[in-house]
Amino acid sequence: MRASAGLAPALARAAQQVARVIGGERFDERMAPEEGRAAFLDLCFGTLRRYGRVQAVVRLLSHKGDAAPRVQALLWCALYALESRRHAEYTVVDQAVRACRLIEHWPAHGYVNAVLRAYLRQRVSLERQLNADLEARYQHPRWWIDALARTYPEAWGAILEAGNTHPPMCLRVNRRRAQLDAMRSELNAAGIVSRPLWGSALLLERPSPVERIPGFADGRVSVQDAAAQRGAPLLDLADGQRVLDACAAPGGKSAHILECANVALTALDADASRAARIEPGLARLGLAATVRVADCTDLAAWWDGRPYDRVLADVPCSASGIARRHPDIKWLRRAGDIAAFAARQGAILHALWRVLAPGGKLLYVTCSVFREENDAVLDAFCANAPGIRRLELVDGRPAQLLPCAEHDGFYFGLLTKTA
């Protein structure tokens, strides 16, 4: 615990950002200020992970009705700061009151002071009320909770709990430039403890800034979640194949494909700004691909008519399996979004099936835990398109990986074109 006299500016900046997210804007980490960046990100991410809880606390303690959005957000951020125990309680209260002037709501300082002091007095009794409120207890929207409970009647609580944790940090060893055991020893010598999971994955005991990781700058390792690393090996790659990564940005899976085999890779993405990150990432690893900017469903815009032996379709989705990395997602998504994603996913599959060679393989991937985006999409596609056979996953793991302490939530489905 530490006293933090400079906490007020961080609380003010975080409150303004959180208010924008709850108002419907995506959180862009690149907009974080250089000064106080770590404190700002901790307050934003921590508050958004616990939004279901902190907004319930304010609702229970406030007798004022709806305060201005930035004032409410300031209270949410201050409550997270109190519960994180990174600062002395009196410091948080004092700095939150001072932050009222910084968010241009000084008349609310008495209200902010009263709510925070009421929380400190009543927090034990408040727990009973919070535990009875599913959104407050599990810190996810109610529709999200209900959807998981339907699909995973035994595991939904654990999935939600995992979604509120800090995500793990995993490295992918570039087998073209390093060996797994040697890389692990080098990390250990630098004080970075790791353990192997599968393939080229090394799970770090504690996250570390990339600039401190041996081998990152010279392309011997990359940061990539262990579940995401599952994709390239499932494609059954071989030298000389023609391969398409249809939704490639920012390029992690493209790089892994090229690390696994000498293939002719086309990395395609509809977002020009995200696609611009692919080539620099490959260059760091000593790899190269043909990078194109186009919507993969608009074949006339990018396809030369030559079929691909392998297609990776890492499709746009709800990102419900990686919500702990992007906690704004939980509160920006709406129940109706899932059907819209499923429709888009189906359209992508139908388009990409046309570019796959007979005997070729297509790997369908999402970072979602909702069945409607995963099994349901593949079931509908397989029932309505000819010449499809669904293949077993050769690593023996289930198609759906759920978020846990080792990895995020991802789904994998492998198809082959029989004719």
Give the CATH number of the domain where residue 240 resides: 3.40.50.150
- C-alpha dihedral sign at 32, 37, 43, 46: positive
Section 182-205 average pLDDT: 97
Minimal CA–CA distance to 133: which of 52, 79, 51?
A: 52
Is 164 domain-assigned? no
Minimal CA–CA distance to 409: which of 159, 169, 207, 224?
A: 159
Is 109 domain-assigned? yes
Is 156 domain-assigned? no
Same structural domain, 218 and 230:
no
C-alpha span between 407 and 321 (Å, rounded): 10
Q: Which domain holds residue 13?
A: 7-137
Same structural domain, 203 and 232:
no
User: Which tens digit of pLDDT belongs to each residue from 130-153?
Assistant: 999 999 999 999 999 999 999 999
CB within 8 Å of 136: residues ≥ 6 apart: 52, 53, 56, 57, 130
Same structural domain, 253 and 379:
yes
Q: Is the pLDDT of residue 51 over 50?
A: yes
Mean pLDDT of the chain: 94
DSSP H helices, 153-277, are 156-162, 180-189, 231-234, 252-260, 272-275
Structure tokens at 33: 């200020």
Is 309 domain-assigned? yes
- pLDDT of 33: 75
C-alpha span between 170 and 196 (Å, rounded): 9
Share of the chain above pLDDT 90, in %: 91
Same structural domain, 267 and 205:
no
Same structural domain, 352 and 230:
yes
C-alpha span between 279 and 288 (Å, rounded): 7
Q: Picking from 30-44, 182-196, 302-316, 372-386, which range would have the lowest pLDDT averaged per residue? A: 30-44
Q: Is the pLDDT of residue 342 over 90?
A: yes
Last residue of a domain, one of 190, 223, 256: 223
How many residues are given for the chain? 419
Same structural domain, 180 and 248:
no
Is 119 domain-assigned? yes
User: Which tens digit of pLDDT belongs to each residue from 155-174?
Assistant: 999 999 999 999 999 999 99
Place of tokens 């995973």: 152
- pLDDT of 320: 97
Same structural domain, 258 and 349:
yes
Predicted TM-score (pTM) of this structure: 0.91
Same structural domain, 280 and 368:
yes
Same structural domain, 252 and 219:
no
Same structural domain, 213 and 233:
no
- pLDDT of 66: 67
Q: Which DSSP state fits 171?
A: E
Is 151 domain-assigned? no
C-alpha span between 197 and 160 (Å, rounded): 23
Last residue of a domain, one of 115, 137, 159: 137
**Which burial class, exposed, middle or buried, applies to 415 when counting CB atoms under 10 A from its CB (0-12, 13-18, 19+)?**
buried
- pLDDT of 182: 97
Structure tokens at 140: 């996810």
Count of domains for the chain = 3
Give the CATH number of the domain where residue 206 resides: 3.30.70.1170
Q: Is the pLDDT of residue 1 over 50?
A: no
Section 323-351 average pLDDT: 96
Section 14-28 average pLDDT: 91
Is 157 domain-assigned? no
Catalytic positions, written as ranges: 367
Instruction: Give the type of residue at 361.
Output: K
- pLDDT of 5: 55
Q: Which DSSP state fits 4?
A: -
Q: How confident is the model at residue 287 (pLDDT cuts 50, 70, 90)?
A: very high
Are 236 and 265 contacting, i.e. CB atoms less than 8 angstroms apart? no
Minimal CA–CA distance to 413: which of 230, 211, 210?
A: 230
- pLDDT of 27: 84
User: Which tens digit of pLDDT belongs to each residue from 80-121?
Assistant: 999 999 899 999 999 999 999 999 999 999 999 999 999 999
User: Sheet containing 221-223: which strands, arranged edge to edge?
Assistant: 194-196, 201-204, 170-173, 221-223
DSSP run (H or E) holding 401: strand 400-401
Is 176 domain-assigned? yes
C-alpha span between 77 and 10 (Å, rounded): 10
Q: Which DSSP state fits 61?
A: H
Q: Is the pLDDT of residue 325 over 90?
A: yes
C-alpha span between 121 and 418 (Å, rounded): 68
Q: Quick one: how far is CA 307 from the chain centroid?
A: 32
Strands 410-417 and 400-401: antiparallel
Same structural domain, 45 and 98:
yes
Same structural domain, 270 and 382:
yes
C-alpha span between 141 and 53 (Å, rounded): 11
Give the CATH number of the domain where residue 37 resides: 1.10.940.10
Are 206 and 193 contacting, i.e. CB atoms less than 8 angstroms apart? yes
Q: Which DSSP state fits 87?
A: B
Section 276-289 average pLDDT: 96
